[in-house]
């Protein structure tokens, strides 16, 4: 396997994961509570996207989909931490992201993570790997 196509596939999967995390944040903020079970839905959708548009089904697609799912889960936690900062300080989300910085957002996200979040994230990543590794059946 060549390095450049693999790097481009990893970049594409990462961008899909970040986009999925941003979309995941919408119901999280609307309901004002964590929604770790969405990791299963996000993982399945990311696996289908990776398998369809980034890499053909196989081990590489499985690793990319699982990584994108974990990235989406981390990103939604970072965005949620930034939204909490923005709400409590009365500033915009982008201002909160800039003011807090990555290190503070990671620390706040780590404090907010519960064991169920980790379990659902790992289950979503495993589901993503399984779906992305499966070959399409004829007629499906």
pLDDT digits (tens, 9 = 90+) for 44-103: 999 999 999 998 989 999 999 999 999 999 999 999 999 999 999 999 999 999 999 999
pLDDT digits (tens, 9 = 90+) for 1-59: 588 999 999 999 999 999 999 999 999 999 999 999 999 999 999 999 999 999 898 99
The whole-number pLDDT of residue 81 equals 94
- Ramachandran bin of 73, using left for φ above 0, alpha for ψ from -120 to 50, beta for the remaining angles: alpha
Under 8 Å between Cβ of 81 and 105: yes
DSSP character at residue 137: P
């Amino acid at each position: 396997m060549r390095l450049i196509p693999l790097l481009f596939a990893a970049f594409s999967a990462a961008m899909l994961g970040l986009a999925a995390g941003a979309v995941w944040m919408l119901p999280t903020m609307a309901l004002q509570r964590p929604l770790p079970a969405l990791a299963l839905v996000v993982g399945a959708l990311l696996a289908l996207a990776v398998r369809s548009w980034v890499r053909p089904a196989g081990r590489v697609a499985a690793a990319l989909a699982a990584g994108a799912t974990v990235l989406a889960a981390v990103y939604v936690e970072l965005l949620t931490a930034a939204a909490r900062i923005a709400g409590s300080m009365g500033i915009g989300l982008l201002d909160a992201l800039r003011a807090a910085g990555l290190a503070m957002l990671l620390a706040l996200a780590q404090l907010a993570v519960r064991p169920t979040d980790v379990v659902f994230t790992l289950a979503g990543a495993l589901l993503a790997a399984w779906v992305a590794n499966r070959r399409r059946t004829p007629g499906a």
